[in-house]
Structure 1
Amino acid sequence: MLIAHLPAGYIVSVLTYPLLRMPQVDGKTYLRCGMFGAVAPDLDMIYFYLVDGGRHPHHSYFSHFPLTWLLLALAAGVYYRCSANRRLPVLALVFAGNGLLHMVLDYLASNIYWLAPFVLKPFSLTLVERVYQPWWLNFLFHRSFVLEIAIVATALLIRHRRRSQPSEPPALAAPAAAGGEGS
């Protein structure tokens, strides 16, 4: 995936927030944590380029192990059950859930080490062949990019609909002006 991780995190976060019904977790913070979780696995690219020099596929780092995100979600769930303040574990859960979503999206066109760190065998639904230079053209011309476009379009549609809706329902029977009607 090239461009769909952030929009996918947006979609999941926007759709799950109304199910939350927790006034202590505001929507913007929830959305930010979810979207950050959706791209957080790719922060390993910093290490990939600056330290590793591209010697190992960045999907072979722990930040791309599904177990990392499952354990984070499990820890958030345990913290949620044991804590009186549930704000932080809910935010950690949306972060981890979107990190796991990142793994699923990467699996559609790239290798994911589903059984790591126990078995370092890559799995993928389909692989993007290296035909073009620069490398990103291979993803752009692959059939999986249609799904990325669909995810981006869906996120933009949701965003447009949310912006066009009034933020608060109009007050019932509110006076039109200070002096009332007809003054």
Structure 2
Amino acid sequence: MFVAHLPAAYLAVRAIRPDASRTVMAAILAGSVLPDLDLLWFYLVDARQHHHHDYLTHKPLVWALLALAGWARGSAIAVGVAAGALLHMMLDSIAGQITWGWPFTTWAATLVVVPATRDWWVASFLLHWTFAVEIAICTAASVVWFVSGKRI
């Protein structure tokens, strides 16, 4: 998933908890993009040697433990960040490999395989039907945002 993590998190909060505070909304939105901060490491340090889904930021157990710790401490912010990150993992599982059973297994499955139809791998993703789903999510989030009158 390229562009729909943030809009999907916004839609999820509006659907599940429309009365969420700005703080909770901000925590979930932040969590929905935090796992991709590993792209800085991927490009600047690791020289693209390992897929960024192999880093700790893309391990669901890490975020589940944060959610558990946040819940135990009564921190809505920690739980929100973790929830956003776990939503990120679910969305990445559509066309990417996430190791949901890590550290017990390295097995990962992809729901949809995006074939390399172009020389530049990004173009293959942008021209695949799954990107239309991302555009639909972004459009839906925009409509909800404009219609609701609730601003973040």
Q: Judging by fraction of residues, say which structure has more helix.
A: 2
Distance across 1 between alignment mates of 2:16 and 2:69 = 20
Coordinate RMSD, CA, aligned: 1.7
Question: Is residue 139 from structure 1 mapped to residue 133 from structure 2 by the alignment?
Answer: no
2:25 matched residue in structure 1: 31
Q: TM-score, normalised by structure 1?
A: 0.76
Aligned equivalents of 2:79 and 2:15: distance in 1? Answer: 14
Tell me how far 1:30 sits from its aligned partner.
2.0
Map of 1:56 onto structure 2: 50
Cα distance in 2 between the residues matched to 1:32 and 1:134: 34
- Residues 153-177 of structure 1 show CA distances to partners (whole Å, capped at 9, x for unaligned) of 11011101122x7x9xxxxxxxxxx
- Structure 1, unmatched stretches of 5+, are 21-26, 81-88, 168-183
In structure 2, give the amino acid aligned to 1:115. Answer: G
Measured in 2, the distance between the counterparts of 1:158 and 1:19 equals: 14
Q: Distance in 2 between matches of 1:35 and 1:125?
A: 24
Structure 2 gap segments, 5+ residues each: none
Query: What is the rounded CA distance, in whole Å, between the counterparts of 1:18 and 1:113 in structure 2?
Result: 31
Secondary structure of 1:104's counterpart equals helix
CA distance in 1, matches of 2:136, 2:62: 28
Higher relative contact order (CA 8 A, sep 6+): 2
> Which of the numbers 54, 66, 71 marks the counterpart of 2:60?
66
- 8 Å Cα contact 1:48-1:54 kept in structure 2: yes
Counterpart amino acid of residue 42 in structure 2: F
More deviation in 63-72 or 127-136? 127-136
Partner of 2:71: 77
- Residue 122 of structure 1 and its aligned partner are, at CA, apart by 2.1
Q: Which has the higher Rg, Structure 1 or Structure 2?
A: 1
The residue identity in structure 2 corresponding to 1:139 is F
**Distance in 1 separating the partners of 2:4 and 2:88:** 9
How many angstroms apart in 2 are the aligned matches of 1:117 and 1:43?
A: 21
Q: How many residues align?
A: 151
Displacement of 1:19: 5.1
> C-alpha separation between the residues in 2 aligned to 1:104 and 1:147?
14
Equivalent position of 1:91 in the other structure? 77
1:128-174 deviation per Cα after TM superposition (whole angstroms, max 9, x unaligned): 122213221111111211221121111011101122x7x9xxxxxxx
Q: Report % sequence identity.
A: 38
Deviations 1:47-68 (A, max 9, x none): 1011111101100111101111
Residue 14 of structure 1 corresponds to 14
Match of 2:89 in 1: 103
Contact 1:10 1:35 in 2 (8 A): yes
For 1:108, what is the secondary structure of its paired residue?
Answer: helix
